[in-house]
Amino acid sequence: MPDFDYDLFVIGAGSGGVRAARISASHGARVAVAEEHRVGGTCVIRGCVPKKMLVYGSMFAEELGHAGNYGWTIEGARFDWPTLRDFVNRDVDRLEGLYGKTLESHGVEVFAERATIAGPNTVRLASGREITAAHILIAVGAWPMMPDFPGVEHCISSNEMFHLEEQPKRLMVVGGGYIALEFAGIFNALGSEVTVVNRSDRLLRSYDAQVVERALHIMMGRGITFHMNRLVQSVTRDEEAGCLLVDLGDADPIHADQVLIAAGRVPNTSGLGLENAGVELTERGAIKVDEQSRTTCPSIYAVGDVTDRVQLTPVAIREGHAFADSVFGGKPRTVDYANIPSAVFTQPPLAGVGLTEEQARQTYGSVKVYSSDFRPMKNIFSPHAERGLYKLIVDETSEKILGIHMIGPEAPEILQMAAIALTAGLTKQAFDDTVALHPSMAEELVLLK
């Protein structure tokens, strides 16, 4: 064996990279990691974790709005954006420290600088130093995509949303995915005037259409304005009015204090030097990998969003763990991408696992759809007459559960346990045989007829 500086060099200290580094080190490998931003990656530093904390803050605003029905009299209540922003960012700092300690406790050396590929077994640090490794793992994630239109420099991405100096009174969100709608819901609940612009007539394409339609109606009922089948033509700054003018092709532009571009994320492969090792990319710019996460260069692997398989943190973690076990642990294994649960933390949240109704009909032909359309007891206190919707998609022949989809308070918490049914291959009868927990929203799943 050639004499390498490390057994494994990981480029990127996000969720997938950190897991791969930690597990590889626990198997006895000599491991180093390079991270040009902050340890923790997108999810911990500028993604799902701080965003979920903002969701909690905005949920409190909703509860406060109908506290009187709970018997509470609250005088002089007001919201201060910097207080919530700074609290969230302090906790991000805490989590970053924990990730760093995890790597340190496993003997992983961390280089706080950018690293690129210089060859099949060589990485080059921004400082100019070259380091060799028997294996290289690329886990640099994805980056917000910014479209090309005049004035895009006046807009921001989701990365900057956690550091806004002040809360925008008027926020425009461009996009129809989960990032766009979660931020729209957060700032709507906190009192901002929110407008969503989407290039098509469909939101949240990977989720069940009926559940998404319910979410749209609820968001509109809460005051969010939607412009569907529209594209931003340009954004200009009106210095006199102190705001942005967004042209959607209409006669009159829309006034906004902030424009968030949340139109998707692209694999962060630019400038990585992949050509130096013959690492090939897909048409979307993602790194090509096989079932073992190996690239077209035998010594280089890739996990997480940079491969564009499934852009979810738990998936990146599993891919990183599987890589470490396979390469250094003597336990070859792959990741099962079937029945991955996911959620959108709008208000209320929606969640799903397995096939949507449309997908199930295309795949199985004859399916049964069981649903419950109800007003959650918690919503009785709210002035919003919002209804929850649960759906169970079942193969008509075998009665096997094919998909579970829902919208309503705490939907993601309920779905996590329900997702086990799909993994276990359970049938509708298993749900029917389960005694309901009353009164709860979750009991609707076992009462569907």
Which is it for strands 243-247 and 234-238: parallel, antiparallel or unpaired?
A: antiparallel
DSSP 156-182: B-GGGGGG-SS--SEEEEE--SHHHHH
On whether the CB atoms of residues 402 and 394 are closer than 8 A, the answer is yes
Contacts (Cβ under 8 Å, ≥6 apart) of 365: none
Q: CA angle 189-191-195, nearest 5°?
A: 80
Nearest CA-CA partner of 85 in 46, 131, 32: 46
On whether the CB atoms of residues 342 and 41 are closer than 8 A, the answer is no
Q: Omega of the bond prior to 348 within 30 degrees of 0, cis? A: yes
Catalytic residue among 27, 217, 227, 438: 438
Which is it for strands 258-261 and 265-267: parallel, antiparallel or unpaired?
A: unpaired
* Active-site residue, 438 included: yes
Alpha helices in 281-375 (DSSP H): 313-327, 357-364
DSSP 343: E
On whether the CB atoms of residues 298 and 290 are closer than 8 A, the answer is no
Q: Omega of the bond prior to 298 within 30 degrees of 0, cis? A: no
- In the beta sheet, which residues pair with residue 374? 388
Positions of E strands within 239-379? 243-247, 254-256, 258-261, 265-267, 300-302, 342-344, 350-354, 367-374
Q: How far is C-alpha 395 from the chain's CA centre?
A: 29
Q: What gap in Å lies between CA 98 and CA 107, rounded to an integer?
A: 14
On whether the CB atoms of residues 405 and 208 are closer than 8 A, the answer is yes
Q: What gap in Å lies between CA 440 and CA 437, rounded to an integer?
A: 6
DSSP 232-255: --EEEEETTTTEEEEE-SSSSPEE
DSSP 438: S
Task: Provide the annotated active-site residues.
Answer: 438
